[in-house]
Amino acid sequence: MLGSQPCLSVSKQHQRLCDRTEPERDGIRSAPGPPVPPTHADLVGCDREVSTDVHTDNHDVLIFHSQGAKRWRIYAPPARRGAQGHPLYRGKNEDRLLDEELGSLLLDVILTPGQVLFVPMGFPHATGTAGAAGKGGASHEEVSVHLTLGLSTADYEFCLGGLRKAWVQDKSWTAKAEDALPDPLWWRLLAPMPVGFLAQGNGVKTSMALVQNIAQQLLEVLRATGELRQGTRVEEVEELVMKHLSRQAHLVSKFHMVGRPKNQRLNPELACGFKFFFIFTSI
């Protein structure tokens, strides 16, 4: 995860966009050039007690609030329940997150235009617009609109868990069952790679210091899972880190560039880890 706590901030650039007139916004949207990172658009009418039921996501998200107001409640991750409910997919399909399962309430905030909220993967959250109207200068009848940017590092195996999986496969070993791992270690496997690990996507090799840092983290994980054999050389682990990150970056950039004209292809640093959503909630 990018962080262990949800956080709220105000983006000056986002505020300037919110302050523009509608024709100016349309001009920005229609401007030529490479596509922006995929987003999830959410439009919700006012006075809704529940616009999104409490649930968890399998990716980190950045919420850019653009219009109206919306209340967000974010909780600490619930205890894992084995096969009965995956921590990153709770509250979806037939699964329901009960009040007694929720961790402590970490943040209860009303977002208004120009504010940005970060929600780490696996942290239950629920939204509603009831009681939010009129906050921050928003009209009492104004529809709530926000954009969500999903950061799917775990999905693309740009995390310690992805490296652990690559290590075990490379050695043709059997991985220890995830259900048998303690909670702190299980969550650590979802930790994303440090900023800068995709530098090689621009023809620049990832710095050796960064590779060594990632390799040391992987070694700690492998010791904790019992998947590190005596006699393993640090150089082996560093080589695997470079191979895995290079392979995954190539696969993801290839996926996002297939069929696109050259002037519209996403830079690997932008394409990697972003997931496409476009969902409208009934107004």
**What confidence tier does 74 reach under pLDDT thresholds 50, 70, 90?**
very high
Q: According to the model, what pLDDT value does residue 270 have?
A: 42
Q: Give the separation between CA 76 and CA 61, rounded to whole angstroms.
A: 15
Q: What angle do CA 122, 211, 239 make, to 5 degrees?
A: 105
Torsion sign, CA atoms 236, 238, 241, 246: negative
Give the tens place of pLDDT for each residue, 181-190.
999 999 999 9
Give the tens place of pLDDT for each residue, 189-220.
998 888 777 665 444 455 788 889 999 999 99
Q: According to the model, what pLDDT value does residue 9 have?
A: 46
Share of the chain above pLDDT 70, in %: 67
H or E stretch including 140? none
Give the tens place of pLDDT for each residue, 117-134.
999 999 999 998 877 665
More confident of the two residues 272 and 6: 6
Q: How far apart are the first and last CA of the chain?
A: 32
Q: Which CATH architecture has domain 7-151?
A: Sandwich (2.60)
For residue 258, what are the CA distances in angstroms to 33, 109, 156, 253, 271? 17, 40, 17, 9, 12
The DSSP result for 10-57, as a single string, is E-HHHHHHHHS-HHHHHHHHT--SSPPPP-EEEEE-SS-S-SEEEE--
Q: Give the separation between CA 188 and CA 181, rounded to whole angstroms.
A: 11
pTM, two decimal places:
0.71
Delimit the domains of the chain by residue range: 7-151, 160-271
Helices (H), 189-233: 208-225
The DSSP result for 149-199, as a single string, is EEE-TTTTT-BHHHHHHHHHHHHTPPPPPGGGS-HHHHHHTTPBPPTTTTG
